[in-house]
Amino acid sequence: MDYRKEYEFWLNDPYFDEDTKAELKAIAGDEKEIEDRFYRELEFGTGGLRGVLGAGTNRMNIYVVRKATQGLSNYIKKAGTQDKGVAISFDSRRMSPEFADEAALNFAANGIKAYVFDSLHPTPMLSYAVRELNCTAGVMITASHNPPEYNGYKVYWEDGAQITAPRDKEIISEVLAVTDYAQVLSMEKEEAMAKGLYEVISSELDDKYMEELKKQIIHPELIHEAADKLKIVYTPFNGTGNLPVRRILKELGFKNVYVVHEQENPDPDFTTLEYPNPEDPKAFTLALKLAKEKDADIVLATDPDADRLGIYAKDKESGEYIPFTGNMSGMVIAEYILRERRSLGIMPENPALVTTIVTTNLAPVVAKNYDVACIETLTGFKYIGEQIKWFKERNTFNYVFGLEESYGCLAGTHSRDKDAVVAVMCLCEVAAYCACKGITLWDEMKRIYEEYGYFREGIHTVTLKGIDGARQIKAIMDKNRTTPAKEIGGLKVLALRDYKTGERTDLLTGEKSRLELPESNVLYFELENDSWCCVRPSGTEPKIKFYMGVKGTSLEDSEGKLESLKADVIEKLSKE
């Protein structure tokens, strides 16, 4: 792409509005900035779009959203499902409502009815709406937990899950085929509504969603017993979780729920947050301050689109609050659900726990203990959602719970994406169970470690932006693929799984075997002593991620092993 030519086109063509042109004129003397904005089109990846807000082909703006939506509209029309309509939701970020309407009016101009939430709603509620309204697809305007300068556009299909192969690549082809802005359709909102092509989603859908969540409660009597004494601090990180999370906790009977005032209402600048991500300890500063004031038992945070949950739990002995990783919080819920369903005789036939290849190895151990199948997928909750669909279509398993390391899990099948609202509800039930037994959530986590093994996991992320960054990421993957390390963190590499070639190589014998999961640019190192590490470029950000896991004999032992492994992963695997 000739970035200079494209810059001049945006600067002079009457199609683009004056605010856009003014923004571009302001960077006229900055050649590097012009190149970064126009050297490529913002990539419509396997989950949709995500990028920095601003004018340019490599930015998130109304023109990029329109083109992407036209491609999706073309795909829907070729599939012959345009009569079913599309559901649209959005979060609290800058331009989210505007992008939602731009998408809706493109669908409408293409004869596809748009069902649009009247206010910000979480990602899992969009997933639920797609199926509840019998839509052919869904669009969620969100950049999830990214910094405030980002926004994004996620695509869901009729099963309520994010698009997966081969549909993802087919839609991408249609988006790429829209090369001329003259191909992009739109219409006035009043006309779309008059023609029945733009409909605001009724609040009845919110009520139905809440009822679906309540079906996952196992012991309502324990919640009733603990409701007066359990203290919960919650922050929605200025996003979509505020209303649904507070509503579900109130309707279940939890009395002492304290919300972080500064992070309660929508704020696209995330003024009190450097990074609205529940994986970031700094994001909990205000929540932990409030927790100490209220002597809270648990501290909960949902990311801006409310599909991820982060938690801290109080340690009675020290009085300190202990951070839980996504693996820890997910497994506390999973173990409780499997144990209680099995003991009450309400476990479905052929039950399955679904995880990803970078999720804790504690999952299959717990699943085996309760005679539950543990199904592994590629990284990304869309693959867990896909399994729910396949279980039903193939009549194989019954989905019970799914989790991934990146703070996402799902109880039930009302959504086909991770759901922080149901995760909050389930976690609070586990906390109520603990309170009734006179223990803390942290005590329960330690019990699980003692019973099943001290599994601990970590992650290291390297951000590499722009053209040079993309080259570096490729070089790192190529190096690890062609000359894999034979020892990492003092642990022998037993085998290398290359999901791009679909091949597993036993590094001790040289024997090769086929992998069952789909092609993906992922390398997985099987290490001795139940340890592992994995390398993959992010699918949504200019990052390369390094995951790792160990098993120790105690908390201290597992932490020491993890630190050693992480240091060597950084030294050996993260450089060109």
Contact 328, 423 (CB under 8 A): no
**pLDDT for position 255:** 96
**pLDDT for position 124:** 98
Note the pLDDT tens digit of each residue in 329-349: 999 999 999 999 999 999 999
State residue 444 phi and psi, 5-degree precision.
-65, -40
Is 106 a domain residue? yes
Same domain, yes or no: 276 and 413: yes
**181-184 long-range CB contacts below 8 Å, 24 or more apart?**
181/13, 181/15, 181/63, 181/66, 181/67, 183/70, 184/66, 184/67, 184/70, 184/106
Contact 416, 219 (CB under 8 A): no
Assign residue 55 the CATH number of its domain: 3.40.120.10
Same domain, yes or no: 277 and 398: yes
Assign residue 468 the CATH number of its domain: 3.30.310
436: three-class secondary structure by DSSP: helix
Average pLDDT over residues 395-415: 97
Could you give the CA distance from residue 236 to residue 517 in angstroms, rounded to a whole number?
35
For residue 499, what are the domain limits? 454-573
Q: Which of 39-48, 80-89, 485-494 has the lowest mean pLDDT?
A: 39-48
Which of 452, 472, 503 is the endpoint of a domain?
A: 452
Amino acid making up residue 421:
V
Same domain, yes or no: 178 and 272: no
Same domain, yes or no: 91 and 151: yes
110, 112, 118, 123: CA torsion to nearest 10: -110
Q: Which position among 92, 96, 144, 531 bears the catalytic label?
A: 144
Same domain, yes or no: 101 and 246: no
Is 50 a domain residue? yes
Burial class of residue 121 in the structure, from the number of CB atoms within 10 Å of its CB (0-12 exposed, 13-18 middle, 19+ buried): buried
When pLDDT is cut at 50, 70 and 90, the band that residue 450 belongs to is: very high
- The total number of structural domains in the chain stands at 3
Average pLDDT over residues 508-526: 95
Q: Is 324 left (phi over 0), alpha (psi -120 to 50) or beta?
A: beta
Is 8 a domain residue? no
Could you give the CA distance from residue 10 to residue 54 in angstroms, rounded to a whole number?
12
Q: Angle CA(151)–CA(518)–CA(308) in degrees, nearest 5?
A: 35
Which of 452, 484, 516 is the endpoint of a domain?
A: 452
Same domain, yes or no: 428 and 458: no
Note the pLDDT tens digit of each residue in 267-283: 999 999 988 999 999 99
**Residues near 509 by beta carbon (within 8 Å), at least 6 away in sequence:** none
Amino acid making up residue 2:
D
Eight-class DSSP state of 162: B
* 144 is an active site residue: yes
Structure token pair of residue 260: 């972080």
**Beta carbons within 10 angstroms of residue 325's beta carbon:** 19
Same domain, yes or no: 197 and 300: no
Same domain, yes or no: 439 and 468: no
Sign of CA dihedral 380, 382, 387, 388: positive
Model-wide pTM > 0.85: yes
**pLDDT for position 542:** 83
